[in-house]
Structure 1
Amino acid sequence: MDVLSEVWARILPQAPDVQDGPWWACAALAAALLAVTVPMVWTRVRPAVTIVHELGHAIVGMLLGRRFTGFVVSADMSGHAVTVGPRRGFGRVASTWAGYPAPAVIGALLVQLAFSGFAGLVLLVGVLVLLGSLLFARSLHTLTAVVLAAALAGAVWWWGGPIGAAGLVLGGGVLLLLGAWRHLGAVMSGGRRHDDPQQLAELTGAPAWLWNGSFLLVIAACTGWGALVLMDAPLL
């Protein structure tokens, strides 16, 4: 019963006290900015963005009736997810399109939730999703990346308290938002034949630049959402 009580205590809404000041939020924002701008750090945290990208493909595909069979996060930090279903049609196009916007959408949502008091619940849900995705990991590198992400989220959820949970959710959200821009910049500047925009062009006949433009609009909208939340945040 004591364990159940401890778990429940970490699920109940519990926001950082305003009297604690803004230091934790400022630290989370600084850490996210550092992670995205320093190459040595970026190469180590980029798998988190790739995992969300690939799970974006998978979740949208499953919502539209496709079967998710596995995903890979490669050593070069690229990745791919496999959903089984009709080779063409709306489901295939939507699941292929969903990858690049996914980190921005999830990132903006995390920024919103960081100040809501539900950061602990968010981390628990994140751990459960990551553990569930282990069933679909198709390489040792993928397995390692997912386990490390789940372990970090789980450790902060259990031991970090309200400030630790809110800080990780906020930092993770900003990391995903900024990482979405970095991923988009990479595909726009040096896209390969099997990248998502090229696949979408082959599936629909619409040019790849049009699909890149749609990614840009969604990521920009999510960035604006996150910025508005931060400007209205009670601790900043």
Structure 2
Amino acid sequence: MTLPWADAPWWRAVVERTTAGPTDPVTHVTTWDPTWLPWAVLAVGLVLVAVPELWRATRILVTFVHELGHAAVGILVGRRFTGFVVRADMSGHAVTVGKPRGPGLELTTWAGYPAPAVIGAGLVWTALTGWAPAALGAVALICLLSLVFVRSWSTAGTTLLVGAVAGVLWWWRGDARSAGVLLAVAVLLLLGAWRHWFAVAGSPKGSDPAVLARLTGWPGWWWVGTFLLVIAGASAAAGWLLWPVLRW
């Protein structure tokens, strides 16, 4: 089936900026030139998390993904997403409306802490398989749609900034540049997920595990453990995906 607007210039421009880029025929991953570039990108992501001054500025992105994780799962289980707030101190909240108890609310509450690691692993895959431009276009679109649900000026600023950067990178397409940015963000999200996990493991009171304990009767440490399993699994998957690039 051919779309009615398939020959329109604007649609051809969208397609050109969204299709998958070339990958190496042997490794089936993005070709990096020079070959040390992936190591440099990984180092940038590590520095963003390890240096306290930089982490204070970039951790809001981890919180942003955390809250959108609540929202996305809430929508998937049939709840109505009404708004979200993110703050630079790693705090925030997303509001969904639906049944006051039950698996839907429990899944929605649980989804926040694993979300940055899962998205980080997904970004590694997109960066290494030529789909980085498409992923940036999707991020820009998600941020645009999310503006309807922001409930603070700081949240609006974060959403606009992330969406604008993704949109600019998508429009002025450069496969290696897009892949490098996504890979650095993936490292930030993966390591940031670990930092958030250690924070909640040390003090789970008043956080998502405590809410899950009230909803289910299962102790908070159980839910902290489930977060650990998912974050560790996502990190292992990201490492497995990166191995062909770093090895070569």
Determine if contact 1:156/1:168 at 8 Å carries over to the other structure. Answer: no
- Aligned partner of 1:121 in structure 2 is 134
State the 1:208 CA deviation.
Answer: 0.3
Inter-partner Cα distance in structure 1 for 2:89 and 2:154:
10
- Aligned partner of 1:18 in structure 2 is 31
Inter-partner Cα distance in structure 2 for 1:39 and 1:192:
25
Determine if contact 2:63/2:87 at 8 Å carries over to the other structure. Answer: no
Cα-to-partner distance string for 1:99-158 (whole Å, 9 max, x where unaligned): 001111111011011111111001000110111111100000100111111111122222
The one-letter code matched in structure 1 to 2:131 is F
16, 34, 38: which one aligns with 2:51: 38
State the 1:18 CA deviation.
Answer: 3.1
Q: Unmatched 5+ residue regions in structure 1?
A: none
Indicate whether 1:230 and 2:242 are aligned.
yes
Inter-partner Cα distance in structure 1 for 2:214 and 2:50:
33
Indicate whether 1:178 and 2:185 are aligned.
no
State the 1:75 CA deviation.
Answer: 4.1
The structure carrying a bigger helix percent of its residues is 1
State the 1:4 CA deviation.
Answer: 4.4
For the aligned residue pairs, the C-alpha RMSD in angstroms reads 1.7
Inter-partner Cα distance in structure 1 for 2:135 and 2:240:
20
Inter-partner Cα distance in structure 1 for 2:22 and 2:177:
10
Determine if contact 1:15/1:118 at 8 Å carries over to the other structure. Answer: no
C-alpha distance 235-21 of structure 1, shift in aligned 2 (>3 A): farther
The one-letter code matched in structure 2 to 1:151 is A
- Aligned partner of 1:197 in structure 2 is 209
State the 1:19 CA deviation.
Answer: 6.5
Which segment drifts farther, 128-137 or 15-24?
15-24
- Aligned partner of 1:81 in structure 2 is 94
- Aligned partner of 2:220 in structure 1 is 208
Ranked by relative contact order (alpha carbons within 8 Å, sequence separation 6 or more), the top structure is: 1
Q: Percent identity?
A: 49
TM-score by length of 1: 0.94
Inter-partner Cα distance in structure 2 for 1:68 and 1:138:
12
Inter-partner Cα distance in structure 2 for 1:19 and 1:167:
9
- Aligned partner of 2:71 in structure 1 is 58
